[in-house]
Each structure stands twice: as structure tokens, then as C-alpha cells.
Amino acid sequence: MTAPPGDRRRVAVIGAGWAGCTAALELARRGLAVTVYEQARMPGGRARRVLLDGVPVDNGQHLLLGAYGECLRAIAQVHGADAGAPALLRLPLALQPWGRQPGAVRLTAWRAPAPWHLAGALVGARGLRLGARYALAASLLRLRRDPAAIPATATVADWFRDLPRAAFDGIVAPLCVAALNTLPEEASARVFAKVLDTALGGSRADSDFLVPTTDLSSLLPEPALRQVAAQGGELRLGAAAQVTASAADGVTVEVEGHSEIFSDVVVAVGPHQLAQALGARPADLPGCRAALAMAGAFAYEPIVTVYLGFRAPVAMTAPVMRLDDRPGQWLFDRHGGSSTTWPAGTATMLAVVISAHGAHQRMEREALAVAVEAQLRRLEPGLPAVTWARVITERRATYACTPGLARPAPGRLAPGIHLAGDYTDAEFPATLEAAVRSGRAAAVGVLEARAAADVRSA
């Protein structure tokens, strides 16, 4: 069912990433007729399934945290009552070095109630002297007790400068790069403190690592959009949309020269795509102008995922393990894949992740795959033969999460125009949780605007 043009219940969502899919689902569930425009041929945006030589993998290996409450709720909504559980593998927070890494930091959160799960992790940690463990615990407590004491201009490296090197390099730096996709010398200490507080300051479950066991499109975007369609909504793929006007009778959206009017539009595109999604006239409205100015000042950080197939099983004591950053940072066992879809002769599929900028960016894809394979063989000389290797680089994976970065808030930008996207969430850095939270916030803004309009017209 598609409501007729001019129907004031019609809402458009531009962008079918996790933010747009969440907004569309929330609005469709509240009875609004939703049209989703996505310029790509498939939904999911920066967290989606891709086919490489016909092999389904993700555009980048993702890891979720137990503290991603809104994200987990959305996944549960679309997967039904017993949801989320089969789609996500839950593991205790752990830094476990893979292969031969003598002296590397090794710790695992205990299966004990908070805060003993972390206390236990520190007590049992290897590769850290007692003084380093004590200093780390003291800095984390200081962060929790007085987050306001962190200067807005402080980087993670500034804030932890007195921490013994082993604790900084072995724990703080890898967590910072993984969570903020920004190097500690450039990353905002305040945002990092917030992530640590959310993940480590709550229950034990909040600190858990969650690894998707399905591909990312199946985890949320596709089932969410199926539910939107079941509620009478519409998905238009391959449709690059632009908001061209905002007036009392609605917001105009143009796709390839064809215009439609909606009561409200949620613009859920990436920050570098915002200027394209807002035409010249809407872009000049004060709220839009401010958001465009902020997004226009962003710098971006890449994330590289190297997929490697192996002829025989590869021993891993956990599905997520630490590498030595030369050049791979984290190693994932691809539970999400199924051997039936892997290249012939492949018994194991691994993903190696390299976040943020670095020397690896100067390497061609093939050379990087070779370098990562060599790294794995250096750490574990008995590795079986490689059957398949592919590299995916997302050059603008996230905005660079630097100190004092001004970011727009999710929600209303101008009459009928609402903003969503991972870059708008005030609490989380650019993550799936930020995207889902922003999608919900934008949907709430639309519903409030509709309710206010209903009151006016009553």
C-alpha cells in the first residue's frame, strides 16, 4: 500500500543504512506510510553484505558490545521473540593474543558480577606488572569518577600519558583504535571515557563482545525493511534522492527529475553525503546550514578488512583475538559465513581488521593481503595453505573522533526535515549503536511533529 501524494502521513527516509532502516521501522510500526530511498543496489550502507567473487562476506568485519542496548533491541525486534541470540555470539571482554606473542598483554573478564568481572580480569592479566595493573585501574576509576575533569581538548594519549607503556600499548591503545577508529594521539579522551564508562561501568553483560554469526545485511537492514514493507512501506533501491524544498504543505523529494511530496523526511545519509542529499534551497535553511557546516568540517578514517580462506582448520582459542598490529590488529573467526558459500577447498575463513590510518594505506591490496598472511605465518608458522584472499577498504569508514569536534544532533533540522546518522549521536562514537539510536531519535521527532500538526488541525 502506498498512500497517495499529498497524504500528510507519508514520510520519506533517505538512506537505508542502519540509521535509516531503524527510523523507517519505527515509523512504519506507528502506522505511517514510509518510502525508503537508497542510492545503492542493496541496503545496509557501511554495515552490509557484499559479494566478492560470488562469496558473501561483509564490507567490513564488525564487533558489537553488550552495552549497545538500542542496537540489540532493534535486532531483537526484527528477529522475533528469541531473537538476537542466534544472530550474535556473546563472548566475555578479552584481549587474547593469537599465536606466538611473548610478553603480550592477555586478559579476560571474569564470569562474575560487576565490578568483579573487571577486577578479576586485572588480577589474572598476563604481560602487565603489578604497578601497571594498579595504574590502569586507578586511571579508569578516575575517568569514571570525574569525566568532567577531562579537558575538551585532551587526546587519549594526553590523558593516559602517565600510564606505564605496557598498559597503554597493550590495552588502552587497541581499545581506543577499535572503539573510536582514531589513533590515541588524535582521539578524543572525552568520547573514549564515555565508551569505557558505558562498556565497563555497567553490568558484566555490557562489557561483552558480540560477534555477528550472520552477515550484516541479514542482521538488521533486510529484516527491518521486510517489516516496513509488510506495514505498507516501500523500498526504492538505486534511487539517489534529494530534498529540494520544504514548505507548509510538505517536503519535496526529487529522484532523477521526478518529485514527490512528503509530510516529513528523515535524511539518514553518511556525513560526507549530506550536502548532496539536501538541495540548494533546503541547505540554506538555518538548521540545515549549521549541520552542513559541521559535517563539512569532518575528517575521515579508513577501516581495512582482509579476508583469508584456509584449506584446513586454524586453531583459535577465541573467535576474536589480538594480533601485533604489524599490520593486522584483530583476528576474527568468520562464524558469520557458512562453508557452503566459501570458495572451493576452504575449511576456515578468517577476517583481519586494521582500523584508522597508517602505513598499510600505502600498500596495494594484493601486497596488503600478502603482508597480512605473512604476519599470521610469523605468529603461527604451522598455518595451512591459503585458498582465497581479498581486501576491502572503506576509506570513509567513520569520522575521525577528535577532541572538541562539533557534531549536529539527530532530529529536526528544519520544518519537515529530520536528521539521522551515526555521526549525530552525542554519546557514542560512529558505531552501529550510534546509527540505531539516531534513527530512533529522528523517528521520535517525526512522530512528535505529526502529533503537534494533528493538534493544530483539530
Ligand X SMILES: Cc1cc2nc3c(=O)[nH]c(=O)nc-3n(C[C@H](O)[C@H](O)[C@H](O)COP(=O)(O)OP(=O)(O)OC[C@H]3O[C@@H](n4cnc5c(N)ncnc54)[C@H](O)[C@@H]3O)c2cc1C
The footprint of ligand X (CB under 6 A) covers 14-20, 37-40, 45-47, 59-60, 62-64, 240-241, 268-270, 273, 276-277, 303, 305, 394, 397-398, 421-422, 430-435
Burial code of 33-70, b = ≥16 C-beta within 10 A, e = fewer? Answer: bbbbbbbeebbbbbbbbbeeeebbbbbbbbbbbbbbeb
Closest approach, Cβ 409 to ligand X, in A, equals: 14
Separation CA 409–CA 424 (nearest Å): 5
Nearer to ligand X, 167 or 199 (CB): 199
Closest approach, Cβ 64 to ligand X, in A, equals: 6
Q: Give the long-range contacts of residues 331-338, CB within 8 A, separation 24 or more.
A: 331/98, 331/376, 332/61, 332/63, 332/211, 334/57, 334/61, 334/307, 335/89, 335/211, 335/212, 335/213, 336/58, 336/211, 336/212, 336/213, 336/214, 336/215, 337/56, 337/57, 337/215
Nearer to ligand X, 214 or 431 (CB): 431
**Cell numbers linked to 113:** 558480577
Closest approach, Cβ 136 to ligand X, in A, equals: 23
Closest approach, Cβ 291 to ligand X, in A, equals: 14
Element containing residue 375 per DSSP (H, E): helix 365-379
Closest CA to 443 of 21, 157, 72: 21
- Give CA torsion, residues 322, 323, 324, 329, to 10 deg: -90
Nearer to ligand X, 77 or 305 (CB): 305
Residue-by-residue DSSP string for 396-443:
EEEE---TT---PPSEEEETTEEE-SGGG-SSS-SSHHHHHHHHHHHH
Nearer to ligand X, 39 or 155 (CB): 39
Closest approach, Cβ 148 to ligand X, in A, equals: 26
Closest approach, Cβ 23 to ligand X, in A, equals: 9
**Cell numbers linked to 302:** 579508513
Residue 38 bridge partners (DSSP)? 237
Nearer to ligand X, 221 or 309 (CB): 221
Closest approach, Cβ 20 to ligand X, in A, equals: 6
Closest approach, Cβ 312 to ligand X, in A, equals: 28
Nearer to ligand X, 17 or 403 (CB): 17
Nearer to ligand X, 355 or 387 (CB): 355
Residue 12 bridge partners (DSSP)? 35, 265
Separation CA 100–CA 102 (nearest Å): 6
Measure CA 178 to chain center: 11
Separation CA 441–CA 403 (nearest Å): 24
Nearer to ligand X, 59 or 375 (CB): 59
Closest approach, Cβ 414 to ligand X, in A, equals: 17
Nearer to ligand X, 139 or 305 (CB): 305
